[in-house]
Amino acid sequence: MDNVPSETPKSDLPVSTEMVKCLMEVGYVAIGRGLQSQATNIFQGIIAARPSSELPLIGLAICKLNFGYIVDAAKILAEQALRLNPDSGLAKCFLAISIRALGREREACDLMRHVCDDTNNNDPVAKAMAESFLSGKDVLP
């Protein structure tokens, strides 16, 4: 995993929640425009500002996934995002998408079933993604 901080500071930088949300959106727009290095830099900055959140790590993993770095995406999700928040339905969903892209369909489906069945998961977006995945529909936003 190139350019992914292995150790993050213990405290978040003083960046407003609104600014973080805006930067996340800009990062996703950069992905959509094919601006890989810019999107990577944006998500790395957000990771520095919010080291205790798995959400910017998910953004970075989506960036890696969209540009064909599937193994890197899976590692970020499994080794970093889910370490920060083992209950993250979104991290599990994108990990399943990565795993499927690596040809491990059964493992991906098992993970998505876990998201659907998890009574602790209060994330309706993750549940909808998992249900769509399992029904064979396109799950990427």
103: pLDDT strictly greater than 70: yes
pTM score: 0.85
How confident is the model over 114-130, as pLDDT tens digits? 999 987 778 899 999 99
Question: Among candidates 23, 71, 19, which has minimal Cα distance to 44?
Answer: 23
How confident is the model over 32-72, as pLDDT tens digits? 999 999 999 999 999 999 999 999 999 999 999 999 999 99
> Domain map of the chain by residue range?
1-72, 87-141
Distance CA 26, CA 29 (A): 5
* pLDDT tier for residue 138 given thresholds of 50, 70 and 90: low
| Per-residue pLDDT, 141 | 44
Distance CA 74, CA 56 (A): 14
Distance CA 36, CA 74 (A): 17
